[in-house]
Amino acid sequence: MSAALKAALRAEAEAVGFAAMGVCRPDAIPEAAGRLQRFVAAGRHGQMRWMEERMGWRGDPSALWPAARSVVMLAESYTPEHDPLDVLDHPDRGALSVYAGGRDYHDVVKKRLKRLGRWLIERCPGAEIKVFVDTAPVMEKPLAQAAGLGWQGKHTNLLGRDLGNWVFLGALFTTVDLPPDAPAEERCGSCTRCLDVCPTDAFPAPFQLDARRCISYLTIEHRGPVDEDLRPGLGNRIYGCDDCLAVCPWNKFAVTARDQRLAMRPELRAPRLADLARLDDAAFRALFAGSPVKRIGRDRFVRNVCYAIGNSGDPSLAASVTHLTDDCDASVADAARWARLRLAER
């Protein structure tokens, strides 16, 4: 175990652009497996059936890769320069979540992790590494807390005293034995801002989320029509949701994003819903090339745009969904008909 190696690794992590680094042991999150099991048993993962697979690995990093000796957790800041909630006051515009307005963080963070991993291997011949961002069966938030980066707030995301909550997480597992950091303590105190602001009441209790009610899940992960009861709560949010993140008081101290590729493209800050309703497959792919939005495909995206138009309260927008009422995609057609009906009711 080398404290000097860890200090040099931390300096390198900062040099390649990460906002923070911490280390924990692979067995540092013994409570996570049970919490994950309860989350899945209660059905809170909705259609994300992949969460039911490889639960043993997800809940226990030492089962995922028994040779790993250390888990290095990294945070990449994407703190926005604008107030992401401003667009909610413009119902003829679509609100895209900040993380989706720039380059896909999966690519950006993974490249950085690989660079850091190569640095470590060069200094420790024979060492092995594996890097993970988001999609692997790894519980990144409890690991980041165990590695001292910050704590899981009542909104369930990781936040830190100097980091705020606008951070992506990445993990570097390694066979190198590095001294662990002390886990971070929870500092939400009596604050409940994130719980109170949630438009769809997605928190059954502090620190717990029912993904089935979360707009991020409904607009990104959920296939098929969204329950009619939940559609009004979406407002004009057409990809993800930032409300619970944006109100957190710890963001006052947040480090700013260093990688401008993650900054929101100006044309995606408040795009006109009427323009988005016209996107065909090719235009959708051209607009969202390199962005995480492309992952959901034109149909789910336009379905979300129709819900937002239905929620706009602006009857002049009804004409922009007329051509979609007989769309090849059944969810788009259903959403367009719903939007017209809702606007006509006004």
Which residues are the active-site residues?
Answer: 134
Nearer to ligand B12, 201 or 281 (CB): 201
| Partner that binds at residue 139, options ligand SF4, ligand B12, none, CB closer than 5 to 8 Å by kind | ligand B12
Kindly state the DSSP code that residue 185 receives in the 8-state scheme: P
Residues 105 and 267 sit within 8 Å (Cβ to Cβ): no
Strand duo 95-96 + 237-239: pairing: parallel
Nearer to ligand SF4, 198 or 262 (CB): 198
Nearer to ligand SF4, 21 or 188 (CB): 188
Nearer to ligand SF4, 149 or 318 (CB): 149
User: To the nearest whole angstrom, how small is the minimum distance from the Cβ of residue 178 to ligand B12?
Assistant: 21
Which DSSP helix (H) or strand (E) runs through 310?
Answer: helix 297-311
Identify the residue whose tokens are 């999609």: 135
Q: Is 223 exposed, middle or buried (0-12, 13-18, 19+ CB in 10 A)?
A: exposed
Which one, of 94, 86, 79, lies nearest residue 248 by Cα?
79
Kindly state the DSSP code that residue 312 receives in the 8-state scheme: S
Select the span of 53-61, 170-178, 185-193, 256-264 touching ligand SF4 (CB under 6 A): 185-193
User: To the nearest whole angstrom, how small is the minimum distance from the Cβ of residue 208 to ligand SF4?
Assistant: 10
| Partner that binds at residue 116, options ligand B12, ligand SF4, none, CB closer than 5 to 8 Å by kind | none
User: To the nearest whole angstrom, how small is the minimum distance from the Cβ of residue 225 to ligand SF4?
Assistant: 18
By CB under 6 A, the count of residues binding ligand SF4 is: 25
Helices (H) and strands (E) counted in the chain, each on its own, are: 14, 8
Nearer to ligand B12, 238 or 321 (CB): 238
| Partner that binds at residue 140, options ligand SF4, ligand B12, none, CB closer than 5 to 8 Å by kind | ligand B12
Strand duo 151-152 + 158-159: pairing: antiparallel
What are the phi and psi torsion angles at 171 (to 5°)? Answer: -125, 140
Span 245-264, contacts to ligand SF4 by CB under 6 A: 247-250
Q: Count the Cβ atoms, other than its own, within 10 Å of residue 80.
A: 22
User: To the nearest whole angstrom, how small is the minimum distance from the Cβ of residue 282 to ligand B12?
Assistant: 26
What are the CA-CA distances from residue 43 to residues 30, 38, 210, 227 (Å)? Answer: 22, 9, 8, 16
What gap in Å lies between CA 60 and CA 340, rounded to an integer? 48
Binding-site member from 73, 133, 149, 215 for ligand SF4 (CB under 6 A): 215
Which residues contribute to the site for ligand SF4 (CB under 6 A)?
A: 153-155, 159, 188, 191-194, 197-200, 202, 209, 214-216, 241, 243-244, 247-250
